[in-house]
Amino acid sequence: MPELPEVETIRRQLRPRLVGSTIVGAGSHWSAKFTPAVEAIGDEISEVERRGKYLIIEMEGDDGPHDLIVHLGMTGRLAAGDAADLAHPHLRAWWRLDDGRILTFHDARRFGRVHWVHRGDWSSIATLSAIGPEPFDDSFTAEHLHRQIRLSSRHLKTQLLSQRPVAGIGNIYADEALWLAGISPAARTLSKPRAERLVVAIREALQSGLDNGGTTLRDYVDSEGHSGANQHRLHCYGRSGEPCERCGTIMRKRELDARGTTWCPLCQIR
């Protein structure tokens, strides 16, 4: 469940280690989700960016600039290590660098993906091509959020998870942000004042994740194999049956559009 804070943590670690390196070899699992990895052979890494939960490795080669795009899915891990990492049974893709190091992509559940596209041409990746603004960008405003939510009749939380109103939110930070804002995940509309609160809350929830190196509930580790610490600071996700930190009401959990959803039935009344 790497969401924006987890992917950004990995990006910050990998960028200085990868920029300037050339890919001299690569391989992948047989699934078409991972085979585009080998297209990067021969190219040099010029930048490591991120858009929402997508890691975007910018590549320069004889056939022009490309993006090597990695989505970690639920259980994806990236690491810049040595050949020992190739032995792992969950290895899905690997890239050998010109100094002998190997960038590996492990993913037990194979919900992750690798894409190879011309620089900036994300049209073949539906979610990425329609993705909303970065949450810390000035363009992510209450007016924007209010307008976006009005475009769909789906539950508010489901819209946040779609990546369209704003980029990078997954199940954990969606529950956290809605609790912080005091808004029901099952709402279908969003007033202007609530949109104001939700923008602040989304930034607060994600910033906590960034400040604490990500949230590790089961699988997440950063590119150096370290767990995050934000799981100790969650107010909502995973706290069903426990008292709400704000009002003491017992937190509840239910399925909302096939996603486990925790909320406070009093502070987040519909």
User: Binding to DNA by residue 225, rule CB under 7 A?
Assistant: no
Of the candidate residues 84, 99, 100, 258, the single one contacting DNA (CB under 7 A)? 258
- By the rule CB under 7 A, 51 interacts with DNA: no
Contact range with DNA by CB under 7 A, out of 41-49, 69-77, 140-148, 193-201: 69-77
Through-space distance between the first and last CA atoms of the chain, rounded to whole angstroms? 27
- Confirm whether 6 is a catalytic residue: no
d(CA 48, CA 183): 35
CB of 101 to DNA, least distance (A): 26
Whether 2 sits among the annotated catalytic residues: the reply is: yes
- 154, 197, 252, 259: which one is catalytic? 259
Q: Is 153 in the site for DNA (CB under 7 A)?
A: yes
Where in the chain does DSSP place strands (E)?
23-28, 44-51, 54-60, 66-71, 76-81, 91-97, 102-107, 113-118, 252-256, 259-263
Q: Which of residues 1-20 bind DNA (CB under 7 A)?
A: 1, 3
Burial 204-225, CB ≥16 within 10 A → b, else e? ebbebbbebbbbbeebbbbbee
Which amino acid would we find at residue 218?
A: R
259 given a catalytic annotation = yes
Where helices occur in 151-270 by DSSP H, the ranges are 156-161, 171-181, 192-211
Report if residue 251 touches DNA, rule: CB under 7 A.
no
Question: How many residues sit close enough to DNA to count as binding (CB under 7 A)?
Answer: 35
- For residue 3, indicate whether it is catalytic: yes
Of the candidates 49, 9, 52, the residue with the CA atom closest to the CA atom of residue 165: 52
- CB count within 10 Å of CB 110 equals 16
Contact between 49 and DNA (CB under 7 A)?
no
53 lies in the binding site for DNA (CB under 7 A):
yes
C-alpha dihedral sign at 211, 217, 220, 226: positive
Give the shortest CB-53-to-DNA separation in angstroms. 4
**Of residues 139 and 153, the one with the C-beta less far from DNA:** 153
CB atoms within 10 A of CB 243: 12
Residues 167-186 that bind DNA (CB under 7 A): 170-172
The catalytic residue positions are 2-3, 53, 259
Catalog residues that contact DNA under the rule CB under 7 A.
1, 3, 31, 33, 52-54, 71, 73-74, 89-90, 108-111, 125-128, 151-155, 161, 163, 170-172, 218, 257-260
